[in-house]
Amino acid sequence: MRSELRKMTYLPTLRWTAATVLAAVLVAAAAVALIGVGEDDLAPVFGLATPTWIASIVIGVWLVGLEYGQKTMRRTLSRNPDRLRLVVTKAALGVFAAALLTVLATAVAVPLLTLASAGHELKITASEVLRVGLGSLVSNVVVVVIALSLALVTRSMAGGMAVALGFFFVIDTILAEIPVVGKYMFSAVSAEVFGQLSGDRFSDRYTDGIEGVGLALAAGLTLMWAAVFLAAGTARFVRSDVE
Amino acid sequence: MTALATFDNLTKQYESGLVVDRLSFAVPEGQVCGLLGPNGAGKTTAIRALLGLVRPSGGSTTLLGRAPGEAGFDASLRRVGTLIEGPALYGRATAQQNLLIEAAALGISNARAEIADLLGLVGLSDRADTRCGSFSLGMKQRLGLAMALVGRPRLVVLDEPTNGLDPAGIVEMRQLIGRLPERGTTVLVSSHLLSEIQLLCHRAVILQRGRLIAEGTIGELLGGDGTATYAASVDPSQADPARDILRRAGFSAHGKGDGVIEVSGGIETGMAVSQALAEEGIHVRELKRLDADLEQVFLRLTNGLNGNDPGDRSTEGDVPEEVLDAV
């Protein structure tokens, strides 16, 4: 655990990711201050939810892809050969990092977005931004685990990133459109969880066109999908030779 | 003598073919053992199997008495340093940070003093805070060796540690490795540079196409009588003092001009010559065994053709008796 923590603190990727997320919050706040919230209410989504969501994908893939990209996996495993423990450690640290980043971004976004919208007729309240932050927090800790799992399957930084982005942005969105079963796909159930937690103002945007299954079932299915991906990634990692 | 690593009929079959074929040998404690053979001979795969990174198709290995997957293997692995197929470094971290990550992986909390020692040993003290992504290959290899030595391992496993190094880097790496037994560290080093490793190792195992074709001490493999003759090249201005130092060390030494000294006697490994001079501050530029070398032995064992089936013992007609005895 300590060596994995040291990698996270010594290597600059997480710092750059956090800086990019905070920059996105600042840009969103500046946009709100200049042109207002707008009828689409997109500022909290593009300023907080989307950047932390993409950052969680980056963190998840990076935690595993780093070792393949730098060819350090064999060194890591030749010190600690328990592969299952390594997966659990990296997943735990990924969840921690994604959660910490989401909380930090929310803490910055709450005062900035509320202040930025204060001069306009249509305002964003602190509680609304907090609810978006809460929805993002729940969504991101699941996304980071799935991204990490996809990197374990591909065993590569570039491959992991390509597959993760392809999955989250294209494949899963298409799967959610399948009649009858689409509502049980990851993007449908995770969007429903996010929408329910984020409040009525933002729910429609995320659940538009999706036939809901209810918050409890959606939360359960979201966790189930994360478990399925993690199991597949772990099985591939544990059973494979390390080249 | 205790064996720190053993290979017992190790076999590894990939879809593309048989890479290691019933390989059996042991690495005795306190020695530098060479695992030699041309590229593709199965050296790296054998080492990966030893470290539990690949699963054998047959046979087994042990590391400090424990087999991969067995209770206690984790603890054994923590007493073993590795440098496999080049240094595996985090390029965006500094040399010191890479070593601190390694120390943390071993559960060593206060490693700063040891890390300073190791950086000094490999000549990187002044680059401790430099990101190692900017290092030359030689510097990366030296840092990789330092990482392998964190926690004072009983055994270090070095896979092609001189790969990509220039001649000066090769000499430097050879001297670093040669000093490890003095620190109580046994070495298993693989290389395709047979004559290079011959200067460093007490004993060697030669592989071809995954199969062991010769094993023994360097003297046994070379078929000699325990004596050896080397040409040591030093700065011409230091040739006379170097010759005197070697004579005082018990060797027969004669100057041959241009800084070349012919050294002969009961020389266990070429490292004995360079160390005797290094202790008096004289740097050996080049060291070459004159009377025989492993490349010749290897070519004789394989009839000069790497493609020969090593299992075809009909090729052994030209092999010296002593070498066959050592197999």
- Rounded to whole angstroms, what are the CA distances from B278 to A51, A79, B284, B308? 59, 34, 8, 41
Per-residue pLDDT at A208: 57
Q: What percent of chain B has pLDDT over 90?
A: 31
Contact A79 B54 (CB under 8 A): no
| A162 to chain B, closest Cα gap in Å | 22
Per-residue pLDDT at A40: 67
pLDDT at B81 over 50: yes
Order of strands, edge to edge, in the sheet holding B211-217?
B80-83, B155-159, B186-191, B32-36, B203-208, B211-217
Whole-model pTM? 0.77
The residue in chain A having the minimum alpha-carbon distance to the alpha carbon of residue B129 is A10
The residue in chain A having the minimum alpha-carbon distance to the alpha carbon of residue B150 is A79
Q: Confidence band (pLDDT; 50, 70, 90) for B96?
A: very high
pLDDT at B191 over 90: no
B chain contacts of residue A5, beta-carbon cutoff 8 Å: 104
| A97 to chain B, closest Cα gap in Å | 19
B chain contacts of residue A6, beta-carbon cutoff 8 Å: 97, 100-101, 104
Cβ of residue A240 closer than 8 Å to a chain B Cβ:
no
Q: How far apart, in whole angstroms, are the C-alpha atoms of residue A84 and residue B315?
A: 48
Structure tokens at B133: 């992504």
> What value does the mean pLDDT take over residues B281-290?
83
Pick from B291, B292, B240: which is nearest to B261 by CA? B240
Mutate which: A1, A75, A243, vs B, most B CBs within 10 A = A75
> What value does the mean pLDDT take over residues B62-80?
90
Contact B92 A12 (CB under 8 A): yes
Mutate which: B16, B47, B90, vs A, most A CBs within 10 A = B90
- Choose the closest CB to B101 out of A10, A12, A81: A10
- Choose the closest CB to B101 out of A3, A13, A241: A3
Tell me which of B133 and B319 has the higher pLDDT.
B133
Q: What is the number of residues in chain B?
A: 327
First to last CA, chain A: 23
Instruction: Summarize pLDDT for B252-283 with one digit per residue, the tens.
Output: 888 888 888 888 887 777 778 888 888 888 88
| B168 to chain A, closest Cα gap in Å | 26
Contact A10 B93 (CB under 8 A): yes
Instruction: Summarize pLDDT for A72-99 with one digit per residue, the tens.
Output: 888 888 888 889 999 999 999 999 999 9
Contact B48 A2 (CB under 8 A): no
Per-residue pLDDT at B317: 35
Per-residue pLDDT at B309: 43
Per-residue pLDDT at A80: 82
pLDDT at B322 over 60: no
Per-residue pLDDT at B321: 42
Cβ of residue A9 closer than 8 Å to a chain B Cβ:
no
Structure tokens at A165: 């982005």
Beta strands B32-36; B203-208: pairing state: parallel
pLDDT at B308 over 60: no
Contact A75 B91 (CB under 8 A): no
Contact A74 B73 (CB under 8 A): no
Cβ of residue A15 closer than 8 Å to a chain B Cβ:
no
ipTM surpassing 0.85: no
Cβ of residue A106 closer than 8 Å to a chain B Cβ:
no
Mean pLDDT (10-residue bins), chain A, 243 residues = 88 94 94 81 83 95 92 85 91 96 95 89 86 91 94 91 89 83 85 80 56 82 92 90 73
Structure tokens at B179: 């000093």
Contact A75 B84 (CB under 8 A): yes
Contact B68 A71 (CB under 8 A): no
Per-residue pLDDT at A192: 85
Cα dihedral: B187, A71, A59, A147 (round 10): -110
Q: Confidence band (pLDDT; 50, 70, 90) for B287?
A: confident
B chain contacts of residue A82, beta-carbon cutoff 8 Å: 74
Residue type, B323: V
pLDDT at B126 over 50: yes
A chain contacts of residue B101, beta-carbon cutoff 8 Å: 3, 6-7, 10
Order of strands, edge to edge, in the sheet holding B228-233?
B252-255, B260-265, B228-233, B286-289
Per-residue pLDDT at A38: 72
Q: Confidence band (pLDDT; 50, 70, 90) for B250?
A: confident
| A243 to chain B, closest Cα gap in Å | 8
Q: How far apart, in whole angstroms, are the C-alpha atoms of residue B201 and residue B183?
A: 16
pLDDT at B291 over 90: no
Within 8 A by CB and 6+ apart from B172, the residues are B123, B138, B142, B165
Q: How far apart, in whole angstroms, are the C-alpha atoms of residue B154 and residue B78?
A: 9
pLDDT at B323 over 80: no
Per-residue pLDDT at B304: 54
Contact A6 B100 (CB under 8 A): yes
Per-residue pLDDT at A51: 95
